[in-house]
Every structure is written in C-alpha cells, then in structure tokens.
Structure 1
Amino acid sequence: MLKKLFSYLIPIKIFKVNSSLSKTIEVTWANGELVLDSENTNYSYGSLQRILRKGLKYIGFEIIAKMENVLVLGVAGGSVIKTLVEEINFKGKITGVEIDSEIITIANEYFKLNEIQNLEIVIDDAFEFVLKTKDRYDLIIIDIFQDTTMPNFLFEQFFVSRICFLLKSKGIVLFNTMCLTAAHNFRNKKYIEEFNDNQYQIQSIPRIEMHNELIVIKKKA
C-alpha cells in the first residue's frame, strides 16, 4: 500500500524483465495504479486504457454488452479486457491473441488476467491467427505494438480484408494506431482514404492522447 501511495508523487518500478520482442517489460505503480510499459511506451493500463475506453464508449457500452464474441489482437496486460469485463459487464466470449508469452505470464501475476472466466488466451502471431480462425466476431480490437513500432501488415489490404471478413453482421473493428511522425499521420490518412468497400463505414475518432489515433470500421449489415 505504501508503494501505491508514494506513486502519486513519483512512479515506482516493481518489476522489470528483458524481452526479445519489446526490449524491456516493466510493471510500475503510477498515480495509484499498476501499469505495464515497454522501454518507450505504455502497453496496458494508464494512458492506453483511457484511449481504448474512449473507443469503446464511442461504439457504445450498451451495444457491446449485448455482443457475443470479442476478439482482442494484442493483449499485453489486458487493460481493454478488464474494461470489457469490469466496466461494460461483457458476459460473452473474449478471445485474446498475444505473440509474447512472457507478457501473459506477467499479466496473470500482476493483473490477474487468468481470473477472468470468459477469456481465452491464444499465444500466436495475430496475422497467423486471423488466417486460421473459423470464428466470427461482433467486435475486433486491434492493439498491436512492439515497443513504439507497429508491424506493417496491419495496414496492408490483405489483412484489412481478412479482418473485415471475420466480422459478423453489423460487426465493428476498433484499431488503435500510434502516430509519432508526419509519415505515420500520412499512413493513417491514406489507410482511411483508400478503404474502398461499400459494405463498411470507416472513420477516425478525435485524439485524446497526442500520439494515438483510433480508427473504427463498422459493417453496415
């Protein structure tokens, strides 16, 4: 409890490990809450949880609560999953796909991810998973980073088409992107402008954090 109290004054690191994918993974008390960080960015809880919560609010908590299947690509500490379960009271099935097994071990120990009854964790590459899965989803959340880098495949047409194919009728994609440079801003602008499918509606949500932009894709029918 003392660490939690002192964290309102200064962040207190309680765990750190080297990671082959994220350089380092750290668990820190900050402003009274545990957060998960990589070397250069927030991975779960803290600002990232605020960002994704805004996206979920934009979609509508009541709408999400009635859904049956949610897919989360990029689990890390599981903050968006905690929002789904604890704030939205989502009772359907959540499938979380995470490439880094070390992060899931940390998430289970420090954030009790393994205590969520309606959550299935799959250790796999997100690209490989979406190619293999035969399931369909009401909501797909894409939150994939390796430190401050986003894999290029996330913005490629084949991946976008496959993600949309996995949506149920009136399904929704919530895509969290990181924009650190003018090139990243242009990438997002191009991604939205070149999305050409009359079955879907695409738009970005006004930013609440300087470097993150949420993109929402809705299936019309």
Structure 2
Amino acid sequence: MDKLWAHLVEAQPPPELWLVALSALAAFVIVAYRTSWQLTRGLVTIAHEGGHALVALLSRRRLQGIRLHSDTSGVTLTRGRPTGPGMVFTALAGYVAPSLLGLAGAWLTAQGRVTLLVWSVLLFLVCMLLLIRNLYGALILLATGGAVFALSMYAPDDVQMVVAQVAVWFLLFGGVRPILELRRKRRRGQAPDSDADQLARLTFLPGGFYVLFFLVVAAASVVGGAWLMLPAAVLPSL
C-alpha cells in the first residue's frame, strides 16, 4: 500500500508553456466545433450527472440511479423530500460539476500529480457505473473507463501529461457551453424542466438567476484553472 500510494502521489515535472497553451487550444476547438462537441459532449454529461449524484448522497437523499442517453442528455433519480436544502443543492450541482472537476484537475495537474488525477477519474467512473440504470449508460462508462485504465497502465508519463492537460481544459471549456445552450433554450421556451427552472420552483429566485450563477462559476473556473496551470509551466523556465 505504501508503494501504491507513493506511485499515486509521485509528481511529474510540469510541462512547458507551449504544451499547456497547445492543449488549451485543442480543447477549445473540440468544444467550439459543432461536430467534435456532439461527439464528446457525453463526457460533460457524465460529470454533470455525477455532480448531481454526489451531492444527493452528501445531502442524504436516496439515490435511485443514473441514466445516460445517446442524445448526450442524462438524468439522476433521487428519492426524498421534494423541497428543502438537500433538493436545492442537488439541483445546483449538475451544471457546475464539470467546471469544478476541471478546476480540481487543474490543481492536480499543476502539482504534477497526473497519476493521482487519472486514478481519481477512474474511481469516479467506477462509482458511477455501480449507479447506472440503462444499457447505453453502462456502455459509455465502460468505454470511457477502459480508455482511462489503458492510459494509466500503458501510456508513457509524457503522454499521460498531454492527455491530462487536454482533458482538464476540455472540462473547463466544456462546462461553459452547456450553460450558454441552456440560456438559449430557455429564451425559446424549450427547457421548462431544466435545473434552473426546477431551482426557481424550489426557491424564491428566478431561473435566470441560476443560469447566471452557473455561468459565473464556470467562467471563474476557467480563469482559476488557467491561473493554476500556466504559472506552473512558466515558473520553472524563469
């Protein structure tokens, strides 16, 4: 166990600035380009529903399961009081989860703890797999988890660092786009049961306030992630 822990927390040297910048550019293109976004958006949905599930458990709600659908949507089913703080925090967690996970990943990456980051993601996916309640969801989690496991076992440290950089930037940028899409859908009246509208029914604040809250958290996470990762790459070269 001591050797395993030492392996997990072993720090890799920080990447060069050009690699961090190139990883950020690659992730931004993936999120901004429509086709690549449709192919990868399901990863953001995993983080979104995982956020709901985690906060539901922390607030002592009974978690009935998670469903991930082929149209990149998802739903987390819980049981408990239909109102109250537990329900509010559970509804709040979804849209901010990808950004906050990206921020946590940025902190680990800046510390050089790439192995710990990869195995934390793998543990997160395994826990979600235990809660999944549909075949497509199970398949997408198995495929994602298998890719992460192969990365951790067979990829050289340099490759793991590059993939970690792109993945962290992807979560940071990918946490913003669904909120902008939600804003557009609400303006067209196409999302009456969104998380923001559920929160509006649970509290005295309008749904637009929660969309703004989601966006502020996502934007702050992008800034915070850049502040963590860019200095880590710049300082060793000074």
Structure 2 length-normalised TM: 0.28
Q: Which has the higher contact order (CA 8 A, sep 6+)?
A: 2
More helix by share: 2
Give the structure with higher Rg (CA): 2
Structure 1 length-normalised TM: 0.29
More strand by share: 1
